[in-house]
Amino acid sequence: MAIIIPNLRLGHAKVTPGERRFAHRLAHLLEDDYWCFYDVPVGKRRRYPDFIILHPRRGLLFLEVKDWRLRSIKSIDHQKVELLTASGLQTRVNPIEQARQGAYQTVDMLRCDPDLREKQGKFKGNLICPYGYGVVLTNISRKQIQAAVPDNVSERVLPGHLLICQDEMLEDTDPEIFQERLWGMFNYQFDRALTLPEVDRIRWHLYPEIRIDDLEIFPQDVPDSVSVPDIVKVMDIEQEQLARGLGAGHRVIHGVAGSGKTLILGYRSEVLAELLNKPILVLCFNITLAAKLRSHLSGRGITDKVHVYHFHDWCGEQLRTYHVDVVEGHKPYWERQVDSVIAGVEKGQIPRQQYGALLIDEGHDFEEEWLRLVVQTIDRNTNSLLLLYDDAQSIYRRNDLGFSLSSVGVQVRGRTKILRLNYRNTREILTFAYEFAKDYLQEKNADDDHVPLVKPTTAGVHGPRPTFRRLDSFDEETDFVASCVTKWCGEGVSGRDIAVIYGAHWMGEAVAHKLRQRDIP
C-alpha cells in the first residue's frame, strides 16, 4: 500500500470527492515504496499541485485531478477550457497545460541544486530522476472522450497517454494496468534508483516546512541566495504524515524522547497561525524550553499570533493583564499564582476562550488542575488542542498520571498517536539508558483516555558506547570527574565542549572546587 500524505483517514476539507477517490486508488493500487502527496503546497511560492507521486526508481509525477463532467465542458483547446459551472460560464487553464507548467516550475527549482543534477551521461545536467505529468478525469470515461472529441483534436488538447479516466480508476482496476497508465506519462526512464539521501533532498526542496536544522528546534527556511547544505535533514515520513494530517479538535501525541514531538508542535503552530484569527497559546513546563521555543518562533515571524510561555509565567501574565491579585496563604508563591488564576476564571475576572488553539509540550509535567484550567482557554468554535506527552520523561512528577484525560476536558477518543522512534540518541546511548532504567520504565498500554508508557526504538544511528563507573564515595566521584576533564583538556578538547551534570547544587559546587584545584576554569 502506498504512503499517502496527509493520512487519508483524517479530514481534509479542500479535497474534492474525485481527489479523495483517486487518493484511495493510489493507496491500494501502488506498492509501499510510493509516496503520494495531495494538496500539499510546494516550495516557498506555495503552489498547490493536486498530486505529486515520488518513487525511488520511477521518479516524480505531477497530476491534476478534475471532477468535471463531459456536459459541463463547452469548449476546449490546448491552452484553455470553457466550463459551465454553478456560477455561470468560466474560463480555466487546460488541465494538461496546468500540470505541465507545475511540473516544469518544480523541476527547474530542483535543478538549481547541483546535487540533484546528473553529473555525466546523455542526461548530464538534467534532474537526477525522471519526471512526468498528466491529468485524472474522475467523472469522464475514455469512451466518452473518444466519442465527443475527434482523434486529431484529442491528441492536441487531451493527449490520451497523459490521461487517467473514470473507467481506469475503479476499485477492481488491475494494479499493473493502473501503474502502466501512470508511467506511460513519462518520456524516459533511468537505470538507477534514487538513494534515501537523494529522496530526502528532494523533499527538503519541495516542502520547506519539514526541514530540520541541527541547531534549531524548528525547521528554518533557507534564502534563495544561500547554498543548500551538504547534508539536509527533514522530518521522517511518519512525522510528516502526522504533522500534515492533524485535523480539528483535540489531539494527543504520546512520543518517546527524541521522537520529534516538539518539531511537530512547531509545524502545527505555523499552520494554525495562517488559519486562525485569535492568538495561539503554546505552553510547556520548562523555562528554558519555553525561551527557546519563543526565540525560534520569532524567526518564523509569527510571534504576534503564537504566544509561548512556561506555565507559571503564563499564570503571572494572566494576573497582570486582568489585574487580579495573588491570594494570600502559606503555599509557595507560584502555587498561589495558579490558585489565583483558577479563582479568577471561576469568578469571571479572567475570560475563558481567549485562544484560537492551545498546544502543550511536556504535558507529562502538568498537574490535573493545570490542564483543567488551560483547556478552558480554547475558543469553542475552533476547539483546537494538541497535547504532547511522554510519561517516561516525567522528571518533575514522581507518580503516574492519576486522572483520565477526559476528566480535565481533553476529548481524544480515537485521536491519539504514538511515536516510538528516538532520533536524538545513538543506538548505544539509548540501549544504555534503557537498560539502566528499565525496572522503572516497563512499557504499559493504555486506552485513549489514559497515558501509556512507551518503550523507545532506536532510529539506527551508531556512536561510541557510554562509559560507566561505580565509585565508593562522592569524593571519589569528584576526583574521577576532575581527572577526566584534566585529561580531555590536555588532549585539546575545548572546555565549552565538556559538561558535568549533577543532581544538587552542593554537588556542582564540590566538582567546581575540585576543578579549580587543578587550575581548570
- Long-range contacts of the stretch 43-46 (C-beta < 8 A, 24+): 43/106, 43/109, 43/205, 43/206, 43/208, 44/208, 44/221, 44/224
Question: Taking a C-beta distance cutoff of 8 angstroms, is the pair 199, 209 a contact?
Answer: no
> Is there a domain that residue 214 lies in?
no
Do 422 and 275 have their domain in common? yes
Please name which of 78, 110, 111, 109 lies closest in space to residue 95, comparing C-alpha atoms.
78
In a domain, 108, yes or no: yes
Out of 145, 179, 206, a domain closes at 206
Write out the residue range of the structural domain in which residue 508 sits: 474-517
Q: Which amino acid is it at 176?
A: E
pLDDT tens for residues 211-222? 776 434 444 444
Q: Which residues of the chain have pLDDT under 50?
A: 11, 214-226, 398
* Residue 492 and residue 420 share a domain: no
| CATH number assigned to the domain comprising residue 338 | 3.40.50.300
Is residue 349 located within the same domain as residue 292? yes
Within a domain: 222: no
Cell triple for residue 178? 493502473
Q: Say yes or no: 482 and 452 in one domain.
A: no
Q: Are residues 119 and 183 in the same domain?
A: yes
229 three-class SS = coil
Beta sheet of 163-165, edge-to-edge order: 3-5, 35-38, 51-55, 59-66, 131-137, 163-165
200 and 289 together in one domain: no
Whether residues 58 and 143 share a domain: the answer is yes
- DSSP letter at 363 equals G
- Determine the pLDDT at residue 420: 82
Regarding whether 97 and 13 lie in a shared domain, the answer is yes
Does 310 share its domain with 434? yes
Q: How far apart are CA 59 and CA 53, in angstroms?
A: 8
CB half-sphere exposure, 337, CA atoms < 13 A: 13
Cell numbers linked to 240: 510528516
Q: Residues 469, 481: contact at Cβ < 8 Å?
A: no
Q: Tell whether 194 and 161 lie within a shared domain.
A: yes
**Are both 96 and 160 inside the same structural domain?**
yes
| Residue 226 is assigned to a structural domain of this protein | no
Q: What is the pLDDT of residue 485?
A: 95
Q: Is 138 in the same domain as 165?
A: yes
d(Cα 344, Cα 326) in Å, to the nearest integer? Answer: 10
Contacts 24+ apart (CB under 8 A), 461-464: 461/423, 461/425, 461/426, 461/427, 462/426, 462/427, 462/428, 463/426, 463/427, 463/428, 463/429, 464/426, 464/428
Q: What are phi and psi of 195, to 5 degrees?
A: -80, 165
End-of-domain residue from the set 206, 234, 266: 206
pLDDT digits (tens, 9 = 90+) for 17-63: 899 899 999 999 999 999 999 888 887 767 788 999 999 999 999 99
Count of domains forming the chain: 3
